[in-house]
Structures are given as C-alpha cells and as structure tokens.
Structure 1
Amino acid sequence: MAPTKSLVNENRQTTNAVIGVRKGITTRNQKSLANHVGNVDVKQQAIITRETRIKRKADTSPVKGKTIKRSALGNITNAIAKPFGVNLQDPKKAVAKKSQIPSKAVPITKTVTSITTRASQIVTRATKVSKKDDEIIKPVDVVPAPAPPPPTRHITTRRSAGLIELEKSNDSSLYVSALEDIAEEASKKDDKIIKPIDKNDNVTEPETTNASSVIPGQLTVQKLDGTPKRKLPDGVQHDFDAENWRDPYQVSQYAMEIFEYLKSRESLFPIGDYMEKQVCLSTWMRSLLVDWMVEVQESFELNHETLYLAVKLVDLYLTKVTVGKETLQLLGAASLFIASKFDERIPPMVEDFLYICDGAYSQHELIRMEMNVLKVVDFDLGIPLSYRFLRRYARCVKVSMPTLTLARYILEYSLMDYTTISFSDSKIASAALLLALQMKDLGDWTPTLEYYTGYKIQDIRPIVLALNEGLHKKQKDALATVRNKYSHKIFFEVAKVPLKEILNI
C-alpha cells in the first residue's frame, strides 16, 4: 500500500530541516519543524542539536608561512605557534610530503668558490676606501701625550645590558643606578670635608682600601648607624638613647620624640570632677569597680596597659554620660573588652566577660555598651598612659627591678583613689618613681630625671604628697586586691615596704 501524500510531505520537510541545520543555515523550516513534529522524542532532539555543532572553516585563511609575534605570557608551553585558523599537520604526513618534493642539491665546490670571490671583492673595496682617506688626511705635528690623570676611586655596580649599550653612545644616559648615585654624592661630601694637613703635624695616614672591597652605599650606612654625640645638660650622668642606639627594640632614634608627642596628647583627654553629675554613684563605688577590674586583669593574665586603658575609658565615659548603679559593672566589663582588643595579642572572648559578670548582662547589652564607649571617645584609643611613662623614666635612670615594681604598686594603687583622676599621666608617673626612690632611700630628684621627664621638683611635689597620703589611708578589706597582688614574691613583696612619714623633697 503506498503512503499518503501528507506523510511524504512531512518526511521531506524533516529531512530538509536537518540538512539545513547541518550546513549551518538558518531557514524557516526549523520553525515549521517545531510545529509539525511535536511527538519527537527528547533523545532525537538532542541528536539533532548535536549534529548542528559542526566546525566551519574560516572564510579567509591567512597566508601560509606568515609568522605571528608571541606575547611574553601568551604561550607558556613554549610550543611553536601558528596563525589562527591554520590546521596543524600530522608530523608523519609532513615527512611524507617532504620526501615527495625533489630537493635540488647544490654542489659544495660552487659554494666555496662563491664565498672566496665575495671575500676578494670586499678586500678590494677596503683598499680603495683607505687610499681616499690617506689623500684627505694632512700631516699633523707630533704632540706629546698628556700625563695620565690621578687614579680615582671607582665603585663597581651591576648594570643591565641596556645600560651598557647606552654608555657606549656619546649621548648622556638618563638611567643611573641608585646605589651609584648615592656613592657619588657621598664621595663628593667626603672630598669637601677633607682639609689640607700641615707637614709638621704628626698624623698617621689612613689605610688604603681596594676598590673591590668598597660596597655601594657603605658610606651612607656608616653615617646612619653612627652613634650621635649629644650635648647633655650639666649633671646628667649618661645618654640612655645613645647607649642603646643600635638596639632596634629600643627605637632610640625616636624615643624622645615619641614621649614628647604623648605628653602633648594628654590635653585631648581631660577628666574633671564628674561625681557631682553622677547622681547614683559615689567615690566608694568607683573604687570597688577599679578593684574588681584589677582582679579581672589578674585572673585573665592581661597586660598592665590593658588595665590602665580600661580605667581611663571608664573615667572618660563617666565624665560625659550619666550612668546608673546597675550599669556600672557593665561599663567596666565593656571597657576591659575594648582595651584587651586594642592591646592584647589574644584577647578574651565575649563569653568570658559575660561569665565574670555572673550572667548579669546579655551579649547584646555588652556589645551595645561597647559601641557607646567608643562613640564617646570618638574611637580614639591612643590615650597616653601613666604606666608607659613610668617604664620609660625608670629605664632611663637605670633603677633596679624591685624599685620599679614599687613604683608600679604606688601607681596602680592610685587608680582606686578618686582624687588622682585629674593629674597628668606623665606627672603622676614621675611622682610615683620619686616616691619609690624616697621609700628605698635611693636619693632625690636628679638632673637626669629632670632631663628625661621634662619636669622639675616643683611640678610634681603636690602629686608626690597626694600619693603618699593615699598609701597612709586606712586600708579596707573590700579593696585589698592590689595589696595582695603586690605582696607576692613575684612582685618582690613591695607592698610590705615601710612607708615614709616625712619625705625629703
């Protein structure tokens, strides 16, 4: 039975569509194929789409034998690149094609004779040019050669091939090595410094050094590393920074400037008498808070700078914001949290501070208080601390470790005293060191201390008296953390040193 005309037409349309797709030509039959052939399987459609992706030759192929420049990182495999669109040939086929082409062998005798004739032509041309030059040049009187210049000191430097080519030309090169430039400037300065020496003076000649032994930039390095000679005031025993000039941990080149800068920043963080504004707080409550903060610092083994910065943050916050009794401990915990993140290598976590508060506050409340404290101080945590000034002054005077620990005890004990909050940090550090020297019978205020601290005895006398009076106050059991801490053998039991009734200042 013969098929109907409709089936024949459908088969013709499908075959035409497939052929059109294979050739890469878009026709209207593709749309009709989607409409008429609705019951085609998914697998057949995938086969059709696969057949459509057939590689097509380029319309215009590049010229054979034409090479393309390769960029620096274009072909990392160092393979021989060919122009785009050229099909790579199989090496076996290429060899077969080469064998089919007859090669024209050139005899060796012909090449040798051509080379010799070429050389003879070049020789004849050279002789003609030399004769012309001899005719042009006139005889010149013989002049004695000038004496050679004195030997100069040369410095060997590594130069690239490009610089060598530039130096061969007569034009002045703009590319000069940095080390060579420094060495030339240093040599000019040395020539200016050298003065003529009289013959009568008995001066030993310096040892000559070979040019190969000179290192580029060596003169500049020696000048930078040289210890400076400062003119110290009368009575100053030694220059601490000059003695430690080569120690990179001391930063002796900038130590004086650093602490002068810290002293200038003390006026940016003023703390006044804020207890009149705080309705719910008292000086006793503040002393309890500081005592608790010392205990937290000791239990977490935090740095002393962390404790001093936290107490500063508490006082700065209370100066500007009124706080209730129930949020005072939260303020102390948030201040410790901020200071530990600023100064500690591995600060405690939020959960640790919530634990030491005995679960009185939530994590949201602690983070909220932390944000408020940072806003009050305008995110400026570079506050000058008395502990840093004390360590600097004690090292400059070269006091012993027990004496320095006694001064630390006096300074840390003063944190609980509300009357000392308005004192300058550099002044209270100087006063604590002087009081420790008085308690140890090691002397008075010396010119060396005056030189490094920048204060005279008149500037710190009232602060020394206030610190001594605070130590003589009756001690309460609730505020015994600092005393117990410095009564340990690790701290040389400095809390047990007898107090001075009368100070020799």
Structure 2
Amino acid sequence: MFNMAPKKTALKKSLGETTMLKRSVSTRAKKNSDVKLVDESSKRKAVSPLKQLSKRSAFGDITNDADLSKKIATNKKDSKKNVETISHVVKKNLKESENGNKAVMPQKKTGRSNIPTFPPKVQMAKANIKPEKVHPSSVSKPTCDKTEVLTSVRVKSPDSTDNELYLTAVEELKKLTTKDEERKKEPLPPPGVEDFDAENMSDPVQVSEYAMDIFSYLKEREAKFVIDNYMERQTSINTAMRALLVDWLVEIQENFELNHETLYLAVKLTDIYLSKVTVSKETLQLVGAAAIFIASKYDERMAPMLEEMLYVCDGAYDKKELIRMEINILNKVGFELGIPLSYRFLRRYARCSKVTLPVLTLARYILELSLMEYTFVSESDSKLAAAALLLALKMKEISGWTKTLQYYSGYSLEEIKDLVFKLNDMLKMKPKEALSTVRNKYSHKIFFEVAKEPVLAEVNL
C-alpha cells in the first residue's frame, strides 16, 4: 500500500554530485502508526489522518452549527410574521379602498430610510364595473391563421445586415432544415472503414452525430498548446527532476483514486507553466501539487481538499503558498483548461477500432510512461495516442494500422511510424528504481499485468 506523505529524496544533478533538497520532490510516505497495512492485491486508497477526523459531503455540512440552526429557525418565524402582517394590511386596504379611502401599504424600517415594501402608488381596489353585453355577431374574427401568426414572430438573425435585422420563425426553421440536409450529405467513411458512429447513433450518450466534429475541434486546439524545449531556459531544474515529479503525481492519482484525465491534465499544466516561468528546485513540487489540485477541480466529481494536498507535500508548503501557486498557474494558462489530452484521443481510437480492454490497457501503460519522458513533451497528443495504440497492437500481434484507425485518427502510417520507434525504445530502457510507480501500477492484475508484457526487439511496420 502506498502511503501518502512522501519522504525526502536525493536528486542527482547533471554534473554527477548528489544533493539533498530542502523541499525535494518526494515519492514515498513517512511511516504512520495509525495506518494499517493491507493486502497489496486489494485496491489502493489514500489514507489521510484528516479523513479520520471528519467526514466531508458533496455540498458540505451546514447544520452542524447550533447557533446557525437557531438563526435559521428565527428567520423562519420572522418571515412568517412578516407575511401575516402584510396580508393583514392588504385586507385592510381592500376594505378601505371600497369605501373611497386611500390604501396605505406597509413600510420596511431600515437604518437609513423608510423603504416601502411595495410601490406606494399601487391601488388594490376592486373595480365596480359591470360587463357590457356584446352580441356574438359584432365580435370580429381573426384574419390570420396559425401560419401567419408564426411568421409574424420574428427572431434576430446573427448574420443579417442592417437592412434585414430579423428573420421570421419559419425562415429560421427552413435555415435549420437546410443545415440538417447538408449534414446528411457529408461523405460517408470510405470502403473498408467501419462506421462506428452510425452503429451507435441510437445511443444518446455516445453523441455519435457530433463525435467527429468534437475530435476534429480538439485536434485544431492542439496548435494552441504546443510546448517548446523549455528546459534550456530552466537553470535550477532538469529532466530527471521533472520525471521524479511526474512519478509522484502518478502516485497521488492512485492514492486518491482520481481519473486518468486528471493526471494527464496536471502534467500538461505543469509543462505549460514551466515553459513560461523559471522556477527553482524548491518550488517544483509546489507547481505539481497546484497543477493536480486544479485538474481535480476541473475533472473530478469530488476533488481532494486543500489540507489533503498540503499533507501529501509533507508539510513543505503552507496554505497561502499553494493558493498563490494555483492562481499563478491559472493566469499563465489563461484559464484555458480544456486542453486536448492524449488519453482522450486514445480512448476514441480504441473504441472506433473495437480493440479489447487488455490492448487498450497496454496502450495506456505506454502513454503513461511517456509522461515522464521529457522528449515527448513537444509531441502532438493525438499523434502520440495513435502511436501508442499501434505499438500495443504490434506487441499483442493482433493487427497493424488499419483503414479504420487511419480514418478516425487522421494519421497515416508514415506520419506516426517514427514516433512508434521512439516509444518502443523507451520501453527497452532499463527501469529506474526511483521511477517505478507506473510499472508497479500496471503490474497489478486489475490492469492485466501489461507492464510484464515482453518488449519488442524491433517493430516491423
């Protein structure tokens, strides 16, 4: 079982000397006497003394304060009295208005002035007017039918000129119908390609009608989040420290049982921030903690609490420092959190090609390992996901890059083969003891022990 509080870890500098960081990026927890060891075959969960002190609910506990409960009860009584007073005054005014007297409405007393609860000029009198008898023949019949009434309702057109600012409802309906017909005329997948979206069109959860447009839009947004070789501008940190930080983030994701999208978004936010700001080695772990805290708020149903994030940092930072770093990261990324992630592209490609879950898990293992490698930081997420899936198919000896995968990914074999070779070279590297979290994670039976899959000596494409 992984403990949450990490221990101090020695990092090697590029010159070869070993130093102990004051606030180092840590990956393991201190021993806690309150934490009991459990069987490693069971699912690992985050163990925090904070969780043992109090329980948290999705919307917070707002009734545990006795004074607050009394205030709520008092407010209810006061509001009931106000309603009774107002209704009494209204009844009184109605009677006075029938006798010709002026109605006086209740006024609310405040510290500054008397503000009337209702407008003072409101006359709530009963009109003593008898309705006149009207002969049915004198009543004029409507001169328009339902269609004319519909066309008389006009809505503003977003793309209209000054001379034609509005469109009728019928014209707008015709315009929408034309768009639907144009969508139906879009080219179907070429021969040999399975129309995955058409097969799932009846399932509203799949949003098959918009799936291609969604992922095309995500691919277009990749150009907005390109990360350059920022490590050349960093003076205090190196690639080894970054790899250790990502390994620590993977451990946090496992302990808190966060979504994988949260992990990938946290790594992206960290890289984007480091590409714009020069940080010290003492601040690196703070950047990673704030990044995964932001990603949890964005993607999780129930994000970890601030105290829990400070706890996993082993007391290296305080509350103000974490909040300040969170603000700095959001400012540097322009509050743009809808970043295209390789994990989302991988899941889309795997579903369209209908690969099995063990193959998908192997591709996820390859992608997660690539998070620690700085050489893949500048790569396109959609292309990286395609290369990881192709390498997993080759390792399982199932198939190659089919027409279906080429159609839904938008990449040909020539475009991703170099990236496949790089990923395979990464798998052939000797594992490091300090960076073993991902391999230990995917060596579990829950993940089909894909980390134990034999690595290919050469990839034949």
TM-score when normalising by structure 1: 0.58
Tell me which residue corresponds to 1:414: 370
Structure 2 counterpart of 1:475, one-letter code: P
Distance 1:387 1:82 in 2: 72
Distance 1:269 1:287 in 2: 20
Alignment of 1:93-132 (within 5 A): none
Tell me which residue corresponds to 1:335: 291
Tell me which residue corresponds to 1:489: 445
Shift of residue 233, structure 1, vs aligned partner:
4.6
**Cα distance 1:293–1:166, how it changes in 2: closer, same or farther (>3 A)?**
farther
Tell me which residue corresponds to 2:144: 172
Tell me which residue corresponds to 2:398: 442
Question: Match for 1:259 among 215, 222, 235?
Answer: 215
Q: Per the alignment, in what secondary structure is the counterpart of residue 236 of structure 2?
A: coil
Distance 1:461 1:318 in 2: 29
Tell me which residue corresponds to 1:322: 278
How far does the alpha carbon of each residue in 1:362-397 deviate from its partner, in whole angstroms, 9 at most, with x for none? 000000111111111011111100000000010000
**Cα distance 1:503–1:166, how it changes in 2: closer, same or farther (>3 A)?**
farther
Q: Per the alignment, in what secondary structure is the counterpart of residue 265 of structure 1?
A: helix
Answer yes or no: is 1:84 the counterpart of 2:69.
no
Q: Per the alignment, in what secondary structure is the counterpart of residue 325 of structure 1?
A: coil
Alignment of 1:149-228 (within 5 A): 169=141, 171-173=143-145
Distance 1:375 1:450 in 2: 37
TM-score when normalising by structure 2: 0.63
Distance 1:166 1:315 in 2: 79
**Cα distance 1:451–1:84, how it changes in 2: closer, same or farther (>3 A)?**
same
Distance 1:384 1:170 in 2: 57
Distance 1:485 1:388 in 2: 20
Whether contact under 8 Å (1:241, 1:253) holds in the other structure is yes
Structure 2 counterpart of 1:333, one-letter code: A
Taking only the aligned residue pairs, the percentage that are identical comes to: 59
Alignment of 1:271-350 (within 5 A): 271-350=227-306
**Cα distance 1:399–1:82, how it changes in 2: closer, same or farther (>3 A)?**
same
Larger helix fraction of residues: 1
Whether contact under 8 Å (2:193, 2:407) holds in the other structure is no
Shift of residue 327, structure 1, vs aligned partner:
0.6
In the alignment, structure 1 segments of 5+ residues that lack a partner are 1-73, 89-164, 182-216
Tell me which residue corresponds to 1:351: 307
Structure 1 counterpart of 2:342, one-letter code: S
Shift of residue 231, structure 1, vs aligned partner:
4.7
Whether contact under 8 Å (1:281, 1:325) holds in the other structure is yes
Question: Match for 1:371 among 327, 332, 339?
Answer: 327
Tell me which residue corresponds to 2:388: 432
RMSD: 3.3
Shift of residue 237, structure 1, vs aligned partner:
3.3
**Cα distance 1:177–1:395, how it changes in 2: closer, same or farther (>3 A)?**
farther
Tell me which residue corresponds to 2:42: none
Tell me which residue corresponds to 1:501: 457
Whether contact under 8 Å (1:167, 1:173) holds in the other structure is no
Distance 1:166 1:391 in 2: 71
Shift of residue 453, structure 1, vs aligned partner:
0.5
Question: Match for 2:345 among 389, 395, 402?
Answer: 389
Shift of residue 234, structure 1, vs aligned partner:
4.0
Distance 1:488 1:167 in 2: 83
Distance 2:91 2:421 in 1: 83
Question: Match for 1:243 among 193, 196, 199?
Answer: 199
Structure 2 counterpart of 1:84, one-letter code: S
**Cα distance 1:364–1:477, how it changes in 2: closer, same or farther (>3 A)?**
same
Tell me which residue corresponds to 2:356: 400
Tell me which residue corresponds to 1:460: 416
In the alignment, structure 2 segments of 5+ residues that lack a partner are 1-86, 102-136, 154-172
Shift of residue 359, structure 1, vs aligned partner:
0.5
Distance 1:352 1:233 in 2: 49
Shift of residue 337, structure 1, vs aligned partner:
0.5
Distance 1:379 1:434 in 2: 34
Whether contact under 8 Å (2:189, 2:195) holds in the other structure is no
Structure 1 counterpart of 2:436, one-letter code: A
Q: Per the alignment, in what secondary structure is the counterpart of residue 416 of structure 1?
A: coil
Q: Which has the higher contact order (CA 8 A, sep 6+)?
A: 2
Shift of residue 177, structure 1, vs aligned partner:
7.6
**Cα distance 1:79–1:429, how it changes in 2: closer, same or farther (>3 A)?**
same
Shift of residue 462, structure 1, vs aligned partner:
1.1
Tell me which residue corresponds to 1:477: 433
Structure 1 counterpart of 2:97, one-letter code: F
**Cα distance 1:448–1:167, how it changes in 2: closer, same or farther (>3 A)?**
farther
**Cα distance 1:280–1:235, how it changes in 2: closer, same or farther (>3 A)?**
same
Shift of residue 235, structure 1, vs aligned partner:
4.2
Distance 2:453 2:185 in 1: 40
Distance 1:429 1:469 in 2: 16
Q: Per the alignment, in what secondary structure is the counterpart of residue 323 of structure 1?
A: coil
